[in-house]
Amino acid sequence: MNAAKIPATAVAVATYVVVAGIFTQSGVILEPAAARFHVPLAQAAIVFSYASAGNLGGIVLSTMIFALFSIRRILIGAYLVLFAGVATIVLTPQLGVAYGAMFAIGLGVGTGLSAGAVILAKLYVDRARAVAFLSTDCAFSGTGFVIPAVAAAVISAGWIWPSGYVIVAAVALVALVAALIVRLPVTTGPRAAVEATREPRRPRAYLTIGLFAAGITAYLTGQTTFTLWAPAVLHDVFHLGSLQAGGIVGSFFGPSSLGLVTAALVVSRLPPRAVLIFALVMGVSLTLTLALLTNVHAFFLVTFAFGFTTTCMFKIMISIGSEQLPGSPPSLVTFLLLCSGIGTTVAPLLSGAIVRVAGLHASLWCACALHAATAAIVLAALLNEALAKREMRRAEPARPQRDHDAESPSPMSA
């Protein structure tokens, strides 16, 4: 990694830490939040839906604003909204006001997350970009382990229920101060236009992008379907206790952290597309195995392998998909992120309808079908991309081949 890119990379990774810090502590603070607002748990849980809606809104907003404002200004605006939301949630005793505050928090972190993704897409290409994106998932998983524990500890010590949000806001403040100091990639003005013309537009680019967008949506829908319904399947179909059944989610996301670190190391040595194809095959094979299993112990073991081998797909698809247009325009990066948000939003609706008609076990077949669809779509995208590269070589036979391991010499702003 080019040493000059490390400060900007650190800012980008910090935006993922902030998102993880906000969303992974929800289960820890649910009961204290219900006690604060004097409402049942089910009603208090609605407040977290507003944060999710705000996060999705921030990503939608980000598809439009990077052509108008610099990354630095967007980060300033995003985190000021976050700080305002956290201050409000700390001070208000009214649940209605808390809904608005949580939407603001989600809006801030969603926009900040998009800025982090754009930074990485502008700094790196091909293998280096895939490694950078995988590192953000590693940071996300690590934060998801640390922040809930910290939030539980400080609340147990008598701190107010949103103390974890205050801690995350402090992390965001450090990231914001760093963003004011370090050099960040350019997304507007003449220099950005030069960046966009540095490499030729690929034939079939928009078809490839559309396929990757569909693949990302299908993948996140399938993953969310599994993590949403697997505990219920174990409880009602395999007759496992509620506590043990709930452990299946940890059996997926725990190994996924190790899998992401492993994938980052592997991608630094092997082509990202080869790693992606392996993960696609494993996703189909393991979800099919899970749908067919009748042994609960085997179910946990296969889930472990499922989490370890497949969670790298998301960021590798983002990485490859964002390469399809010259200069990796921010609108493309944020569009691909938006597709992931659509997948997680659609999953409960789609899978819920299937479960109502065909029963709980059908959710596993639904997850399998979605992973099979992901594999078919993404393999079509990779084939289309390969055909486009062949057309480019035929059109410009004298053009030197791009070094796929090189890092992008992206212009940086002061």
The pLDDT of 134-159, averaged and rounded, is 85
Residue 404's pLDDT is 47
CA 158 – CA 295 distance, rounded (Å) = 44
Residue 200's pLDDT is 54
Looking at the DSSP bridge assignments, the partners of residue 185 are: 412
Residue type, 99: Y
Q: Among 31-35, 128-132, 198-202, where is mean pLDDT lowest?
A: 198-202
Per-residue pLDDT tens digits for 345-365: 888 889 889 998 999 899 999
Name the residue with higher pLDDT: 176 or 142: 176
HEC string for the chain: CCHHHHHHHHHHHHHHHHHHHHHCCHHHHHHHHHHHHCCCHHHHHHHHHHHHHHHHHHHHHHHHHCCCCCHHHHHHHHHHHHHHHHHHHHHCCCHHHHHHHHHHHHHHHHHHHHHHHHHHHHHCCHHHHHHHHHHHHHHHHHHHHHHHHHHHHHHHCCCCCCHHHHHHHHHHHHHHHHHHHCCCECCCHHHHHHHHCCCCCCCCHHHHHHHHHHHHHHHHHHHHHHHHHHHHHHHHCCCCCHHHHHHHHHHHHHHHHHHHHHHHHHHCCCCHHHHHHHHHHHHHHHHHHHHHCCCHHHHHHHHHHHHHHHCCHHHHHHHHHCCCCCCCCHHHHHHHHHHHHHHHHHHHHHHHHHHHHHCCCHHHHHHHHHHHHHHHHHHHHHHHHHHHHHHHHHHCCCCCCCCCCCCCCCCECC
Q: How many CA atoms lie within 13 A of 244 on its CB side?
A: 11
CA 160 – CA 98 distance, rounded (Å) = 14
In the chain the domains, ranked by start, together with CATH numbers, are 3-196 (1.20.1250.20), 205-395 (1.20.1250.20)
Evaluate whether 105 touches 44 at the Cβ level (below 8 Å).
Answer: no
Q: Answer yes or no: is pLDDT of 390 > 50.
A: yes
Name the residue with higher pLDDT: 202 or 220: 220
pTM of the shown model:
0.80
CA 285 – CA 281 distance, rounded (Å) = 6
Give Cβ neighbours of residue 316 (< 8 Å, ≥ 6 apart): 130, 133, 134, 263, 267, 272, 275, 276, 279
Per-residue pLDDT tens digits for 62-110: 988 988 899 999 999 999 999 999 999 999 999 999 999 999 999 999 9
CA 368 – CA 358 distance, rounded (Å) = 15
Evaluate whether 58 touches 106 at the Cβ level (below 8 Å).
Answer: yes
